[in-house]
Amino acid sequence: MVQQQRQVQTMVPQLRQSLEMLQMPVLALRQAILKEMSVNPAIEDVVSPNEVVASSIEPEPAGPAAADGELDFSPDVDALLRQDDEWRDYFLQGMENAPAAEDDEEKRQHFYDSIRQPVSLQEHLLEQVPLTALSAEDREIAVLLIGNINDDGYFTGSLPDLMMVTGKSKDELIALLNVVQTFDPPGVGARDLRECLLLQLSEIEDSPWEDEARALIDKHLERLAAHDEKFLCKALALTPDELQRLVAFIRTFNPRPGRAFERSEVEYVEPEVIVVKEKGRYVAKVDGGLLPHIHISKHYRKLLEDPAVPAETKSYIRERIRAGAFLIRSIEQRQETIRQIAQTIVDAQTAFITDGIRALRPMTMTEVAEKVSKHETTVSRTVSNKYMRTPRGVFEMKYFFTSGLKTASGDSVSNKSIQDQIAQMIEQEDPADPLSDNAIQHAFAERGVTIARRTVAKYRSVRKIPPAHERRRG
């Protein structure tokens, strides 16, 4: 038991490294490998001034093959490599079967998802709906209201249209909108700037400027925009210095609360999976030229065999070789895992590659995990921040995972396909008589697809398409 615990302690940081490498996008992994090479002298790049290695898209086992064939590992290093899969399963199974204590669950989540994905404003708001005391019916309407909130965080929907769709009165819809307006971020769901700022003011407690700020926002925003300080001082009974402090207080509010969820950084994408057609079949290959081709240094291997090298130095070298061997093994496992999962995606979505988004079929990570005999969280890590170049263009791997709707024939249609069809219907509509969500619903019914009107409205909102009354022209 003690020996097992020691082995567990040895494997924890290495397993964490392996999982982190699996989730890293290729450019980040390249930098991580180069950083490791700079601190571990036992690792070398295969490419030297006298060697030329062509970039390849074949999954090359350049790592452990170079190490295992030329180095007689000490028993502890060899055992470490052999036990990798065994201990990986041990840890994952242990965490799955452990009691769902709050602290343990938090650690488990951090262990699996050390790199979090950005959350959109819509996703952030939808996560808060189940936390309300609303009925199931009202929650569905709250979801519909959220679908009419733009990227700035403002509600832009038409209450008359929503009254017709939901059957609710204007007062009932406003009451539900008021619930959404209590969600984070403060100010979200407002219909104009005045309401947005007042909502944020209501979140602040014990402010000495609360009454003055409410009066200024509620009645004199236009005067504030015009910098009419003389009028404002008189209307609010403030000195110029007090007015300046009041304005500074109001400027701490966010006039566009939804923008906090906007991804402003530039994202560079390097597809590491290439889909090519070979002998009538689409094949997924991992680009082997995007990462350094590393191996264990011959010089440091020879030092282990040199009797003149002190034992303490050999111990250090052995530790560096152990770390390098595990790194090489982890890279190879990562590349092969990506290849297996990418090929499974390609096999399932061949119709999409040939016919486009209309043929995208619903697919879950659980389904893929079963086919490749991996844990579902491994699939999630693998497709995170990974891109695939296909004959249809470059796509993030997780793009291909979608839920679906049932057709009259019993088949399923991807929700992305449904969204695309909605966009095409609206693109081809008569501008003088645009299609209502109800008309789009009936059009799908004629195609054998059952879809609720609120789902049509939601998907239309996802594509940033305004409602029919806003599209009417002429």
Of 417, 407, 406, give the one whose Cα is nearest residue 358: 417
pLDDT tens-digit map of 110-167: 433 333 456 788 888 988 998 888 998 899 899 889 988 988 899 988 888 888 878 8
Tokens representing 1 are: 């038991």
Query: How far is Cα 432 from Cα 471, in angstroms, rounded to an integer?
Result: 9
The alpha carbon of residue 265 and the mean position of all alpha carbons in its chain are separated, in whole angstroms, by: 15
- The CB density around residue 256, as the number of other CB atoms within 10 Å, is 15
**Each residue's pLDDT tens digit, 36-62:** 888 888 888 865 434 433 333 343 333
Total number of residues shown for the chain: 474
Q: What is the pLDDT of residues 270-292, one digit of tens each?
A: 899 999 999 999 999 998 888 88
pLDDT tens digit string along 181-211? Answer: 999 899 999 999 999 999 998 888 667 788 8
**Tell me, what DSSP letter sits at residue 71?**
-
**Domains of the chain with CATH codes:** 2-115+271-348 (no CATH), 404-471 (1.10.10.60)
Pairing of strands 294-296, 387-390: unpaired
Backbone angles phi, psi at 136, to 5 degrees: -60, -40
pLDDT of residue 95: 37
Show Cβ contacts of residue 14 under 8 Å, excluding neighbours closer than 6 positions: 80, 84, 326, 330
Residue of 277, 293, 383, 283 lying closest to 60 (CA atoms): 293
**Bond from prior residue into 61 cis (ω within 30 degrees of 0):** no
The reported pLDDT for the residue numbered 337 is: 93
